[in-house]
Amino acid sequence: MTRPIVTVIEVGKAVIDADTVYTEPVHFVVEDGIIREIGVGPYVPKTGERVDRYVRKGDRVAIPGLVNTHGHAAMTLLRGAGDDMPLMSWLHDRIFPIEARLTEECIYWGTLLASWEMLTSGTTTYTDMYMMMDRAAQAVAESGMRGVLSVGVVGLDEADRENGIRRSRDFVANWHGACDGRIQVTLGPHAPYTCPEDYLHEIAELASELGVGLQIHLSETRVEVDDCLGKTGLTPIALAERAGLFRVPTLAAHCVHVTDDDIEIMRANAVHVAHNPQSNLKLGSGVAPLPRMLERGLIVGLGTDGAASNNNLDMFEEMRLAATLHKGIHEDAQCVNAATAFRMASEMGAAACFQAQGAGALRVGSPCDMVLLDGKSPRMLPQHNLLSDVVYAVGAEDVRDVFVAGEMVVQNGEPLAIDTERVAYEVKRLRDRLQP
Ligand SMILES: CSC[C@H]1O[C@@H](n2cnc3c(O)ncnc32)[C@H](O)[C@@H]1O
Ligand SMILES: [Zn+2]
């Protein structure tokens, strides 16, 4: 039997989870990527204990790696390609024509650009629904991130339907659980307005057969809901339930225009939600009833959506927006407090995208997905309340070092496994080819 790799990480302070904050020096003992011990003060080796790696960062504040529960990574290549438009014309008039020109290398370099952006802004796990996903998975494998990846499928004609099923099946076979479990696969039916009910049913059956969950856009705009009601007499969420979608673990993105009955359907079927406040605001879609969903006990994570509708992948911005937007809407300063927003960006987000128990926190037994913030940042002074600083004040620029499964993937703000100069060169080259 091989001996585990033991890493000791010493930091100045640590947010273990939304309810547990250490304001004194802390050490973490990590064995094969899992946190085995947390102690106050410097690490003192016990007799016979061997440590393979020491990381001494006394001026850093440790937080769990952030979890982005909805996005389309390679859409970084489309950042700024279509702004100030509502969803449907944005998709049909700007995005789909550019996406028709995307090649495999676009997906690879676009996903690496997203990984660079996400890792250096403190995200260690992200979800993705897009195309040519083998190249996205290759980028995730190389970058060191965790990804919950899906082939985005639409079913408006027979050829698309067959391709979607075949590609999804192959993608699960090739990548589910790859890279020591860093890559997880779900199915990715795009939305009820691009996947007819019988196709949603077929995808749910496939997910069940393959033992994976699925992610889908649901009830993002008022137009989507009104069209669906007009055509079927059901809301998109009621339609998805009738199609049998919710018989498999489902992560529903957006859920902006949902009724109380919809929320009850989601609760009864344990549907998870990805709340994307920035993208919903920018596309003029509206504001999801997050407080009602949380009150009813739904598991809700935060997401950026793609970089063409956000227009960045910064989860600190998303967390702060979630913790302020709903206060304003409801004229209630206690609505979605700092702890709730932090939980959604970490532990609840990890649960929302089907990560293992303990993921998204820094407790004993959790995977060591850890972000070290600059404890000397002006945004963390004078430090009345560390959790408040992390949610309301800190920004991506304060992220210094990042670990995924105990491996350092960002050091002093630089990704260790991504050639950032090359990525910058390649995405500029590809941008020029994408213009119609
Ligand atoms: C079939 S691959 C995924 C597909 O989704 C598109 N997309 C990006 N953002 C959104 C959004 O907010 N709502 C619906 N669809 C979206 C993306 O451009 C791809 O075509
Ligand atoms: Zn989306």
Mutate to test the pocket of ligand 1, among 131, 190, 276 (most ligand atoms within 8 A of CB): 190
What average pLDDT score do residues 216-238 get?
98
Q: Which atom of ligand 1 is nearest to the CA of 191?
A: 14
> Minimum-distance ligand to the CA of 91?
1
Whether 357 has a pLDDT exceeding 90, the answer reads yes
pLDDT at residue 208 in the model? 98
Report whether pLDDT(267) > 90: yes
0.95 surpassed by pTM:
yes
Indicate the DSSP class of residue 380: G
Q: Give me the percent of the chain exceeding a pLDDT of 90.
A: 97
Q: Counting atoms of ligand 1 from 1, which one is nearest the CA of 190?
A: 1
Write out the residues surrounding ion ligand 2, Cβ under 5 A: 305
Sign of torsion over alpha carbons 154, 158, 161, 162: negative
| pLDDT value, residue 283 | 98
Token couple for 407: 């491996």
Q: Which two tokens stand for residue 267?
A: 């609760």
| Termini Cα distance of the chain | 57
Q: How many CA atoms lie within 13 A of 35 on its CB side?
A: 25
Mutate to test the pocket of ligand 1, among 163, 217, 251 (most ligand atoms within 8 A of CB): 217
Q: Which residue's alpha carbon is at the smallest distance from atom 20 of ligand 1?
A: 96
Band (pLDDT 50/70/90 cuts) for residue 434 is: very high
Whether domain 66-352 has CATH 1.10.150.530: the reply is: no
Residue appearing with tokens 């913030």: 373
DSSP-derived secondary structure letter, 322: H
Give residue 49's pLDDT: 87
Tell me which ligand sits closest to the C-alpha of residue 283.
1
Q: State if residue 318 touches ligand 1 by the CB under 6 angstroms criterion.
A: no
123-146 pLDDT, tens digit per residue, is 999 999 999 999 999 999 999 999
Residue pointed to by tokens 């913790």? 323
Position 2 scores a pLDDT of: 84
The C-alpha angle with vertex 326 and arms to 324 and 330, in degrees rounded to 5, equals: 125
Mean pLDDT computed over every residue of the chain: 98
pLDDT band at 228 (very low <50, low <70, confident <90, very high): very high
Q: What dotted CATH number matches 6-64+361-415? A: 2.30.40.10
- 119 pLDDT tier (thresholds 50, 70, 90): very high
In the predicted model, is pLDDT for residue 154 greater than 80?
yes
Distance 130 CA to ligand 1 centre (A): 8
Task: Name every residue whose Cβ is closer than 8 Å to that of residue 375 and which is 6 or more positions away in sequence.
Answer: 12, 13, 59, 60, 61
In this predicted structure, what is the pLDDT of residue 46? 85
Which listed ligand is nearest to 70 at the C-alpha? Answer: 2
Q: What is the pLDDT of residues 306-324, one digit of tens each?
A: 999 999 999 999 999 999 9
pLDDT interval class at 355 (50, 70, 90) = very high
Say yes or no to pLDDT of 436 above 80.
no
Q: What is the mean pLDDT of residues 212-236?
A: 98
CB-based contacts of 39: which residues, under 8 Å, 6+ apart?
Answer: 26, 27, 29
Assess whether pLDDT exceeds 80 at residue 413: yes
Domains 6-64+361-415 and 66-352 share a fold: no
User: How far, in Å, CA of 309 to CA of 83, rounded?
Assistant: 7
- Average pLDDT of the segment spanning 156-180: 98
Q: Where are the domains of the chain?
A: 6-64+361-415, 66-352
